[in-house]
Structure 1
Amino acid sequence: MPISTSEPKASDRLVILGYGFCAREFVKRHGDRFNDILATVRDPGAGASNQSGVRFEKLDTGYAPEPALLEAVRHATHVLVSVPPGRDGDPALALLGEEIAAARHLRWIGYLSTTGVYGDHAGAWIDETAPTNPVSARAVRRLEAENGWRALAGPGRVVHVFRLSGIYGPGRNPLLSLLEGSSRALDKPGQVFNRIHVEDVAEAVAAAMTRPEAGPVFNLADDEPAPQPEVLAYAAKLLGLGPPEVVAFDAGQAAMSEMARSFWAENKRVGNRRLVTELGVQLRYPTYREGLRALLPTVRG
């Protein structure tokens, strides 16, 4: 079956494995492309059903997939995966990998991964050709999951991997962190981070669905990696607050979670040229400044 290069058809069916922040934004913006959407959650009764047009089924380690989920996979034309791997690997791949591999109508699989798979590059610019050298166990599992999903590619079917930088958007951003008092500016000389607005993630996924010849890996990152204190200072200025106190990194890391420590242990500038040249995506929020300015009304009510 040849791969279609056209826009998704009204008869297309989407299965979303893991109905998280990015998946919800994609459905909000592009859900009307599909005749049917089924998304998996851990608890279908916990409020996920507030997005009309989406059916929900349980997917959790230790539970066999429900018949309705298996049926949806069998008829799916597109599968979007945003389930994070656990200590035992990718649960969606373990529970549904065989069914997805056998799905006759499936043309496209998208996997939402992380730029953490590149590891530390001492602040250098990298692109999708950079070697992967994950440092944390979490990033190692991400790379293993990437490889597992990419192994499902074949004639008539493409797999695209999206390596995301730090995601922000409505309900999850430095403006809210400052207002809630949950953000500290940490001074680690030379340290920078890329970010990506959730709307730009959704647009990149939508573009990839129509370009099977592109990829197979895309960095989803903004144009300007920046130090965390700089971003927080800009957010504070937008809010009319004084600049946040800057704390030396060595003093601040004691209170960090294991995940946060792994995040700060890696320093790289992530290039997004393939996103622009192969997918034709022009970022709506090319730096944190545009993104935070657009989010300001959402935190002021």
Structure 2
Amino acid sequence: MEKTLISLGHGYSARYLAERLVPQGWRIAGTTRDPDRFGALRAQGITPLLWNRDAILPWLENASHMLVSAGPTETGDPTLALLGPDIRKHAAHYDWVGYLSTTGVYGDAQGGWVDETSPLTPSTERGRRRVTAEALWADIPDLPLHIFRLAGIYGPGRGPFSKVRKGTARRIIKKDQVFSRIHAEDIAQILEASINAPAPGRAYNLCDDDPAPPQDVIEHAAVLLGVTPPPEIPFEEADMTPMARSFYAESKRVRNDRVKTELGVNLKYPDYRAGLAAVLAAEGSEK
């Protein structure tokens, strides 16, 4: 059977997976709400689809694989709202379904370690929506679901260098605050490894080996650029949007043993130092 992927909510992470699969002969369709993206998607070898049922349904019915990147909103899961009955109807037809979630489902561990067996105790509204969405997808009978809980995503165009260059980056200091993160290329290789070794019902944490305080990442980016790191700002004094402040509501270190032991993945960028060096090289030394 021809390998065909329907990518629902085709965004940054899905693009990196497509870059691995298209050269192998995969047929991929990616959805977008913006028709202005059609040209860019076609240039990547992807068939663009507008976010409506009529456009998506022929691919949904014939795909062998499905990747779901569209996150839940205040009104619920957008994919299930649009296509829920269709997905249920064709659930057993798929070889693999991947749902991109977030490590925010674990909530605040006060800097401690969490793994895939840790309780789901989110402390933010975004995290609670993800827990609900994960459960809704898991409740679909016969769906070969794989849940991927992503830490903070970075990569070319999503690194700290632009803000550091512009002088808008900030080193916000909150005692004992630590985050995990993952390079987009490692997300893609983990997804491909799962596609090649399906284990329906499994959840995987996608993160690197080196959880670190956010201010350390900004400082290292400045060092790589050869500029003075921005000054430290105490969290209590920082002017932040509610969204930005919510990221500091949770502190945890995320374990990634399962992707290594079960999927045989060796991370290309096991820490932010290796990842940032690659991002800088990809973006070019000058912008």
Normalised to the residue count of structure 1, the TM-score between the two structures is: 0.89
Equivalent residues in 2 for 1:272-283 (5 A)?
A: 272-283=256-267
Cα distance in 2 for residues equivalent to 1:127 and 1:153: 26
| 1:287 correspondence with 2:274 | no
1:92-150 CA-to-partner distances (Å, cap 9, x unmatched) read 11111211121253121101110011110111111011101111111111111111122
Q: Does the CA-based 8 Å contact 1:12-1:33 persist in structure 2? A: no
Cα contact 2:154–2:183 (8 A) shared by 1: yes
| 2:68 corresponds to which of 72, 81, 85 | 81
After superposition, the C-alpha distances for 1:128-173 in whole angstroms (9 at most, x for unaligned) are: 111011111111111111111222252xx52110001100000011
- Cα RMSD over matched residues? 1.6
Change (3 A) 1:175 1:189: same
Q: Which amino acid aligns with 2:7?
A: I
Unaligned segments of structure 2, at least 5 residues? none
Cross-structure match for 2:137: 149
- 1:234 aligns with one of 213, 220, 241: 220
**Do residues 16 (structure 1) and 7 (structure 2) align?**
yes
**Which of 45, 52, 58 is matched with 1:53 structurally?**
45
In structure 1, how many angstroms separate the alpha carbons of the residues matched to 2:62 and 2:25?
12
Q: Which runs of 5+ in 1 are unaligned?
A: 1-8
Residue number in structure 1 paired with 2:27? 36
User: Offset of 1:50 from its aligned partner?
Assistant: 4.5
Amino acid at match of 2:73: G
| Identity of matched residues, % | 45
The amino acid across from 1:269 in the alignment is R
Q: Is the 8 A contact 2:96 2:200 kept in 1?
A: no
Residue type at the aligned position of 1:131: P
Q: Is the 8 A contact 1:193 1:268 kept in 2?
A: yes
- Give the C-alpha shift of residue 248 in structure 1: 0.6
Question: Could you tell me which residue of structure 2 aligns to residue 5 of structure 1?
Answer: none
Task: Tell me the distance in 2 between the aligned counterparts of 1:148 and 1:219.
Answer: 19
d(CA) in 2 for partners of 1:121, 1:99: 38
Partner of 2:280: 296
Does the CA-based 8 Å contact 2:42-2:48 persist in structure 1?
no
1:124 aligns with 2:108: no
Q: Is the 8 A contact 1:120 1:266 kept in 2?
A: yes
Question: Is the contact between residue 223 and residue 286 of structure 1 (CA under 8 Å) also seen in structure 2?
Answer: yes
Q: Residue 113 of structure 2 aligns to which amino acid in structure 1?
A: W
Q: 2:244 aligns with which of 222, 242, 260?
A: 260
> Residue 128 of structure 2 aligns to which amino acid in structure 1?
V
1:109 maps to what in 2?
97
State the 1:49 CA deviation.
Answer: 3.0
Q: What is the deviation of 1:214?
A: 6.8
